[in-house]
Amino acid sequence: MADCEKPSSCLIVIFGASGDLTRRKLIPSLYQLFVAGQLPEHFAVLGVSRSPMSDDDFRDRLHSFFGQYDDKQWHDFAKCLYYHVADSTKAEAYGGLKTRMAELSQSHGTGVNVLLYLSIAPHLYEPTLTQIGAAGMVAEGKHWCSLDRNNPPWQRVIIEKPFGSDPLSASRLNDVVASVFDEQSIYRIDHYLGKETVQNLLVFRFANTIFEPIWNRKYIDHVQVTAAESVGIEGRGSYYDSPSGGAMRDMIQSHLLQVMAVVAMEPPITMCADDIRVEKTKILAACRTPSMDDVPKIAVRGQYGPGQFGGKVVTGYREEEGTRSDSQTDTYTALQVFIDTWRWGGVPFYLRSGKSMTKKLTEVVVTFKPTPHCLFLPRMTGSHSALPNQLVINVQPDEGIRLRFEGKVPGMGMDIKPVIMDFDYNEQFGASPPQAYATLLLDAIRGDQTLYKHREEIKHCWRVVQPVLDYWQDHPQDDLPNYAAGTWGPSASDIMMARDGRKWHNP
């Protein structure tokens, strides 16, 4: 979201650097930025974790994960990678850590600018933040403004999700991080907001006048936001079956409500972070809080059992390592949300996410209302009946936008069939979108919070989903697992849609 000007020099410190996220996402994203010439002129990356490792071991571990790369570019990048053995939750670890950071700052000329990334288990967030504050590692930019008002030094923190496991824990975590960092230095990451197509929603909506007049309850029947994965929990059974796990917490609360807010928000005054986040927060604040009586009608819980995918037998969730044989954890969730505003009053937003489904897919589907009177129905010669117009925004894997409308088939009679108008990123621009983490890391280095979540957004997202979680806890479901791996989820989800006279978009 930021401009192309090079960001200021900084030291990037990754807590939990021996973990999978660092190897799969963070370092490849930083390398992508390095190759593109978008990292600061002076930078260094310091990985921090308890696992014994030397700098060279750390570099070799990361190097082995890369596929195609340029030897010289990797060599130049790797010279800026370092590793420090420390337990981030222990006070005694910070003397040596601060010394190492000072040495790298001196040798690489990064100054006092520091980006701290918490790529650690959620239960380690609070003790780590507390120790960072106690060690005096954060001297907020406001304290240094007299040195350089145009470019004050900074220290920022990126916090991975999940941000709490319920409203109370999320509020507590917000208070803890706020005791160490100012709000403008806190970056609560949501990698879905870094995806190119989600960002393009802002341009799509606010740079084109043809959609804004019909982007409301008068013309839109409903909106679907889907995030489907074809894989299961992939060895994350101990986390997914914990109080912080499940599709409602892991996906709906963390990601899909954010995507919905971008779809539904009012035009911001400017494209600056504060103005965009204000409008998103208004949408989330306007989301109706479900009552206990509402939950059975607006929410569906699913869990995958054994099935088949790609001709192979797939293990059921309860047979995965780290899960309980009587687990009530939702690997699939569908939720109906109403936004009580003038623009969206009465328009349902359907959010769904699931694992071990038919295909990997993230999309937003806007279904418009049918014409008030179908002129062509009596004269149609084909089997097709006119369908409402649909706008399909593919977030992944095939990034693009698809508009479906009706057209006449050439020939005698009045045979009407759907016509598809496609906008494909790869075909149109000749380039693949950057990794979401690359976009978000660069924004954090630049100090752009547009694609990061504000604490008020976190609060309202939990307010929407917690009543459903409470109901599910009080009402165990005896039919779990209730969908086979490799399908589109439980039949109860289709029934929920059919009750409203609608159906899911299953491409």
- Please report, for the domain that includes residue 118, its CATH number: 3.40.50.720
Evaluate whether residue 507 is within a structural domain: no
Evaluate whether residue 99 is within a structural domain: yes
**Section 170-179 average pLDDT:** 94
Q: How much is the pLDDT for 344?
A: 98
Q: Give the pLDDT confidence of 367-379 residue by residue, as tens digits.
A: 999 877 766 665 5
Which tokens belong to 8? 């200021």
When mean pLDDT is compared across 180-189, 324-333, 335-344, 418-427, the lowest value belongs to 418-427
Task: Decide if pLDDT at 142 tops 50.
Answer: no
Evaluate whether residue 119 is within a structural domain: yes
The one catalytic residue among 108, 191, 222, 255 = 255
Q: How much is the pLDDT for 309?
A: 85
How is the beta sheet containing 299-302 ordered, strand by strand? 299-302, 332-338, 348-354, 220-228, 361-368, 390-396, 400-408, 416-424
* 270 and 127 inside one domain: no
**Section 92-118 average pLDDT:** 95
Q: Largest Cα–Cα distance of the chain, in whole Å?
A: 84
Q: In 372-415, which ranges are E strands?
A: 390-396, 400-408
* 230 and 286 inside one domain: yes
Task: Decide if pLDDT at 2 tops 70.
Answer: no
Q: How much is the pLDDT for 506?
A: 93
Give the pLDDT band of residue 345 (cuts 50, 70, 90). very high
- Please report, for the domain that includes residue 334, its CATH number: 3.30.360.10
Evaluate whether residue 134 is within a structural domain: yes
Evaluate whether residue 182 is within a structural domain: no
Q: Domain range for residue 28?
A: 10-160
Quote the pTM value. 0.90
Distance CA 71, CA 347 (A): 54
* 137 and 285 inside one domain: no
Closest CA to 338 of 264, 426, 436: 264
* 130 and 235 inside one domain: no
Evaluate whether residue 277 is within a structural domain: yes
Active site residue 108: no
* 272 and 142 inside one domain: no
* 206 and 313 inside one domain: yes
Of 114, 144, 160, which marks where a domain is finished? 160
* 480 and 342 inside one domain: yes
Evaluate whether residue 244 is within a structural domain: yes
* 129 and 229 inside one domain: no
Give the pLDDT band of residue 140 (cuts 50, 70, 90). low
425 or 253: whose pLDDT is higher?
253
Cβ count near 151 (within 10 Å): 12
* 278 and 147 inside one domain: no
Q: Give the pLDDT confidence of 115-131 residue by residue, as tens digits.
A: 999 999 889 999 999 99
507 or 427: whose pLDDT is higher?
507
Report the mean per-residue pLDDT for the chain. 89
Distance CA 277, CA 202 (A): 12
Measured between its terminal Cα atoms, the distance across the chain in Å is: 31
* 207 and 99 inside one domain: no
Q: Give the pLDDT confidence of 390-428 residue by residue, as tens digits.
A: 999 988 888 888 888 877 778 777 777 777 888 777 777
Task: Give the number of C-alpha atoms closer than 13 A to the C-alpha of residue 429, restricted to the C-beta side.
Answer: 11
Q: How much is the pLDDT for 68?
A: 56
Which tokens belong to 198? 């989600």
- Number of domain units in the chain: 2
Evaluate whether residue 197 is within a structural domain: yes
Q: Give the pLDDT confidence of 219-246 residue by residue, as tens digits.
A: 999 999 999 999 998 878 888 888 778 9
